[in-house]
Amino acid sequence: KPDSFTVGEIVETAELQRSYQGRLDGVLDFLLLQHIRAFFAFETITTSTFDSFLRRHLAYFPADFALPSFLDNHDMNRFLWVVGGDLRRLKIAALCQFTLPYPPIIYYGTEVGLNQSHDLEYPDGSRRMEESRGLMLWDADQNVDVLAFYTQLIALRRQQPDLWRGNRHTLTLHDDGLYIVAIEAEDRTAIVALNRSAAEQSADLDTSLALALATESGVAYTDQRLTLPPFSGAIFMAAQ
């Protein structure tokens, strides 16, 4: 159908994924998934490695070739399981995901804090996929704080959908986990600040933009100085 949107499940490589341009509208972004989990969950890559990947990755694919992003799916351990249930780390990963150019995908239950009881990899070497495919949480079992955060993220993304496809400029990058990026599209700007470390981080930030969303209540911006609690992040945008 002419009005359909077709996305492929091509795990790797970037060259193979891009070869589907013209045949598919896009492919699921498994390469981004690997790097987001490596940076925010496993902490096996540095901030500079993550930043370098993002710049190369976003420049490599044509703008009209969609790369829907995700943090987890039905064939792997849930993000929350990998981070030991640490909701702070889920929130900063989601904040990063929702401020990237392409459509974000939420695996069911992630938005309400759904976790799993056991690792997919059992001691006997078998893999039991059902561990990450548990029953959905409903009503009082849902984490309302996480749900409210995702609701705010979605609202911000919809508020200015073209902004997130703008030009990205790295403002601050420290391999101790501090990462601040500006996104510019025509006359609009957003700043995304992330602290992927277990220590409080501070940085000078000269901006007139307002704090639009913070993952933790301790995020503060005074006298052009930004303070981010451990495993936290923030988005600055023009006041609406």
Q: Count Cβ atoms within 10 A of the Cβ of residue 81 and give its class: 0-12 exposed, 13-18 middle, 19 or more buried.
A: buried
Output the DSSP codes for 134-150: -PPP-GGGS-HHHHHHH
What are the structure tokens assigned to 96, written together?
Answer: 């990063």
Q: Break the chain into its structural domains and give their ranges.
A: 7-162, 164-237
**What pLDDT, on the 0 to 100 scale, is given for residue 166?**
95
The residue-averaged pLDDT of 15-35 equals 96
Task: Name 180's bridge partners.
Answer: 172, 193
- Alpha-carbon distance values, 126 to 78, 120, 121 (Å): 17, 8, 6
Average pLDDT score, the chain: 96
Higher-confidence position of 134 and 1: 134
**What pLDDT, on the 0 to 100 scale, is given for residue 240?**
63
Output the DSSP codes for 192-211: EEEE-SSS-EEEE-----EE
The residue-averaged pLDDT of 106-128 equals 95
Answer yes or no: is pLDDT of 239 > 80.
no
**What pLDDT, on the 0 to 100 scale, is given for residue 183?**
97
Say if residues 70 and 105 touch (Cβ distance below 8 Å).
yes
How far is Cα 200 from Cα 91, in angstroms, rounded to an integer? Answer: 16
User: Out of 62-66, 83-87, 148-152, which region has the weakest mean confidence (pLDDT)?
Assistant: 62-66
Fold of 164-237: Immunoglobulin-like (2.60.40)
> For the segment 142-188, what is each residue's pLDDT rounded down to a tens digit?
999 999 999 999 999 999 889 999 999 999 999 999 999 999 998 89
Tell me how long the chain is: 240
Q: How confident is the model at residue 98 (pLDDT cuts 50, 70, 90)?
A: very high
Q: In angstroms, how far is CA 196 from the centroid of its own chain?
A: 12
CATH class, 7-162 region: alpha beta
**What pLDDT, on the 0 to 100 scale, is given for residue 230?**
98
pTM of the model: 0.95
> For the segment 33-63, what is each residue's pLDDT rounded down to a tens digit?
999 999 999 999 999 999 999 999 999 999 8
